[in-house]
Amino acid sequence: MNIFQSLIDFILNTGFFTIAWQQLIMIGVAFLFLYLAIKKDFEPLLLVPIAFGILLANIPLSGIMNAPGHVLIDGIPFIEYQLNDGIIEMKEVGGFLRWLYQGDYLGIFPPLIFLGVGAMTDFGPLIANPKTLLLGAAAQVGVFLTFWGALAISDIAPALAFYTSQEAASIGIIGGADGPTAIYLATRLAPKLLPVIALSAYSYMALVPVIIPPVARLFTTKKERMQKMEQLKPVSKTTKILFPIVTTLVVALIVPPVTPLIGMLMMGNLFRESGVVERLSDTAQNALINIVTILLGVSVGATANGMDFIQSRTIVVFILGCVAFAGGTAGGVLIAKIMNLFLKKKINVLIGAAGVSAVPMAARVVHKMAQKEDPNNWVLMHAMGPNVSGVIGSAVAAGVLLALYQG
């Protein structure tokens, strides 16, 4: 009888009998992300680890995201002690992914990602056509529109969702389509919202092929999308070497709080362009960024526990994040249209949509859109100008928000 009772107790305490409906929904979201990554090839390097992190975090009783010092036994949290030579000591415990998550929470992973991005990025298109810097700056309009939108919702419908100015600023930065920057800002201004902001930012980065095309088509004509552009002028090696050094000094002096991000981005680019540290450049743009992407992706996904995640306040963040992203895309396109009113050599306004900083995803999507209208139209390198300037723009926007609202 005891054996049968033990067997019944075991079965009743498995995840099959303790899983909540909120966790089932998030597991469904994980399956959706895996489908988009594997079947549709929507940025699998991001979506696969994020999706699997969501899957792991929503397995009940796994303890994989338990805070250190707290273990759930029969649903009751307690601190585990260890007897050592007659002295009782607290044994620090915690879930495996909870420890990886500290790289997000402490702001370690974002600058390391930027180091790798810098080493992979060619700023030549931006240097060759500096006016595209305006398109990257214009794309940050989504950041500030969403910031004001979050504050407006807090005033109009506080029962639905209420956000402080610091939280609204952290939500707005999702519009920059820059996951590392969103994490970096949220850790300093809105740590309680870090999980939903991080997941929202990375989800929308991965869904660039879904979000940009309809917004870009809405604000452009077929003639504008077919506009061809002249080949970019070559940029000297000296200029490429000076660019990351000068940019670091200028941006860091204007917005000091963002120095870790812009500094790592430009140091990675200096590795690439100097030509004397090939091993460092290769490590930064391959091994390092791949490792950090795995750790960051799975730990970001692991923050999406259905029990904490499915509530009106977090759902509104996802909605605002989408608005921010769409607003940034539209802002870049509209500024490109305005620029064409004054330029003798017209630009393809689609490249304005690449002003969001999802590098090089946004530029590739824009290029495919232009080629769909005219297979002989090559705008990829032109789109990389606003795309990489968007990285700098989102970092500057974060620095401004930090300067205004931190402490």
43-83 pLDDT, tens digit per residue, is 898 889 999 999 999 998 888 887 776 544 454 444 555 55
Rg (CA), the chain: 23
- Compute the average pLDDT of residues 331-353: 91
What percent of the chain lies above the pLDDT cut of 70?
Answer: 93
d(Cα 84, Cα 64) in Å, to the nearest integer? 26
Q: What angle do CA 363, 304, 200 make, to 5 degrees?
A: 25
pLDDT value, residue 55:
94
pLDDT at 141 over 90: no
CA pseudo-torsion sign 114, 120, 123, 125: negative
172-203 pLDDT, tens digit per residue, is 888 877 888 999 999 999 988 888 888 888 88
Give the lowest-confidence range in 84-98, 131-145, 305-319: 84-98
Decide: pTM greater than 0.75: yes
Q: Residue 27: pLDDT band by 50, 70, 90 thresholds?
A: very high
CA pseudo-torsion sign 207, 213, 216, 219: negative
pLDDT value, residue 289:
95
Residue 171, both tokens:
């939500």
**Backbone phi and psi for residue 222, each to the nearest 5 degrees, phi listed first:** -60, -40
Given the DSSP bridges, would you call strands 76-78 and 71-73 parallel, antiparallel or unpaired?
A: antiparallel
pLDDT value, residue 85:
59
pLDDT value, residue 153:
92
360: preceding bond cis by omega (within 30 degrees) = yes
220-271 pLDDT, tens digit per residue, is 999 999 999 888 889 999 999 999 999 999 999 999 999 999 999 999 999 9
Which of 380 and 177 is assigned the larger pLDDT?
A: 380
Which of 267 and 2 is assigned the larger pLDDT?
A: 267
First to last CA, the chain: 63
Q: At 67, is the secondary structure helix, strand, or coil?
A: coil
- Which DSSP symbol is given to 76? E
H helix count then E strand count, the chain: 22, 4
pLDDT at 9 over 80: no
pLDDT value, residue 291:
96
Q: Residue 407: pLDDT band by 50, 70, 90 thresholds?
A: low
What percent of the chain lies above the pLDDT cut of 90?
Answer: 48
Cβ distance 201 to 331 under 8 Å? no
- Which DSSP symbol is given to 288? I
77-111 pLDDT, tens digit per residue, is 445 555 555 554 555 567 889 889 999 988 899 99
Cβ distance 168 to 405 under 8 Å? no
Give the lowest-confidence range in 85-89, 242-246, 348-352, 371-375: 85-89
- Compute the average pLDDT of residues 355-365: 86
Average pLDDT value over all residues in the chain: 87
